[in-house]
Structure 1
Amino acid sequence: MFLRILDRLEEIIIASLMGAATLITFVTVVHRFLVDVPVLYPYLFWINLAWSQELCIYMFIWMAKFGAAYGVRTGIHVGVDVLIKRLNDRWRKGVILFGLMGGALFTAIVGTMGAKFVYELMHTDQVSPDLEIPSWIVYGCIPLGSYLMCFRFLQVCWTYFWTDELPHHDATNVDGIEVVSPKAPVAMGEA
């Protein structure tokens, strides 16, 4: 139950950040061109969207951090496995588990260093340039995203250890659509 909630929350955060950043960028670009229209100038000149670029940058950074954890969970990260596929089963399993544990260790270290940085930043008055929100909120994605990614590495490692199955992404799969393979050619005389 907890994992399903975490999975959905992760997906909602990623989709919401991506959608909102795209919408804000679209509105900003349209505003930039419409303000040059003489009839609309008196109305649109007073709308200040200078903060939008900074907000979109922060939203994409947060989206990328949570998207990396999503990538580990679903197996969509790029990996070079030409040599790993040539190993025998015992060695392959050991190398894959080592890689997954290495990823978990690395993201745990980044998360811990990020948490320390954010904690120290909380005791300062630093704010972002345009939005003027506390800087620790902006940098909060580092420990949150890194710890989530560490959890996902451990989750994949645990599953692989017991089932020998890694998550893999099928680019041809679309949720809700069932693919029916074409019928095999019928030989002469069969019907």
Structure 2
Amino acid sequence: MSASAMKMGQPAPASHIEAEAEIGHHLLRKADRLLGWVIDIPCAVLVLAEVALILVSVIARSVFNTPLVWSDEIIGLMFLWLTMFGAANALRRQDHMRMTTLVSRLPPVWRARMNAIGVAAPALMLALLIGPACQYAANQWYVQTPALGLPDSFRAGAMPVGRG
């Protein structure tokens, strides 16, 4: 029995194939954790920045009677990115919306099949939309936002990033 398996209270793998599968699962778990950090950190930063900017914008508008025209544009842009990162995070954690009420009433064999379809269907949809979303974002480079004059690709780019 290996030392790491003894520490964790698990038996050592019985064969070379099982050992490789265990290594593969370990690498997948590490990749999933890394992807979680890549998604969660921008989400946290966006939430904090959005709350701060909304607070500053409300104070400027209400207290000083000087609205920050550009703030609405940035707030909408940040909210869109936050929505896309949140959707990617929900899909990664398998917390996306689906018909769990109906699926939970099915026999176990059909429940497993429907859960597999519930994961595969959004993945297929996202795979089909990634190309058009990237093309749309690239085409929006020439369009500018009204207040800041930023390329609209900053807004349109949220779709392919959230889908990727």
Matched, 1:107 2:126: yes
Greater CA drift, 55-64 or 100-109: 100-109
Which blocks of at least 5 consecutive residues in structure 1 are unaligned? 37-44, 148-191
> How far 1:2 moved relative to its partner?
3.6
Greater CA drift, 72-81 or 134-143: 72-81
Question: Do 1:110 and 1:142's aligned partners in 2 also have CA atoms closer than 8 Å?
Answer: no
Letter in 2 for 1:74: R
1:54 alignment partner, one of 49, 62, 73: 73
2:110 alignment partner, one of 85, 91, 98: 91
TM-score by length of 1: 0.64
The aligned runs of 1:15-34 (5 Å cut-off) are 15-34=44-63
Q: Could you give the per-residue CA deviations for residues 18-53 of structure 1, whole angstroms, max 9, x where no partner exists?
A: 1111111101111122225xxxxxxxx6xx621001
Aligned partners of 1:94, 1:4: CA distance in 2, in Å? 26
The aligned runs of 1:1-191 (5 Å cut-off) are 1-36=30-65, 49-122=68-141, 125-147=142-164
Q: Secondary structure of the equivalent of 1:128?
A: coil
> How many residue pairs end up in the alignment?
135
Q: Relative to structure 1, is the Cα distance of residues 76 and 102 closer, same or farther in structure 2, using a 3 angstrom cutoff?
A: closer
Q: What do you get for the CA RMSD once the two structures are aligned?
A: 1.8
1:155 matched residue in structure 2: none
Letter in 2 for 1:9: V
> How far 1:83 moved relative to its partner?
2.2
**Greater C-alpha Rg:** 1
Aligned partners of 1:4, 1:146: CA distance in 2, in Å? 18
TM-score by length of 2: 0.74
Q: Secondary structure of the equivalent of 1:86?
A: coil
Aligned partners of 1:74, 1:32: CA distance in 2, in Å? 39
Tell me which of the two structures has the higher relative contact order, counting C-alpha pairs closer than 8 angstroms and 6 or more residues apart: 1
Which blocks of at least 5 consecutive residues in structure 2 are unaligned? 1-29
Aligned partners of 2:95, 2:122: CA distance in 1, in Å? 15
2:5 matched residue in structure 1: none
Q: Secondary structure of the equivalent of 2:69?
A: coil
Q: Relative to structure 1, is the Cα distance of residues 75 and 101 closer, same or farther in structure 2, using a 3 angstrom cutoff?
A: closer
Q: Relative to structure 1, is the Cα distance of residues 130 and 89 closer, same or farther in structure 2, using a 3 angstrom cutoff?
A: same
Percent identity between the aligned chains? 27
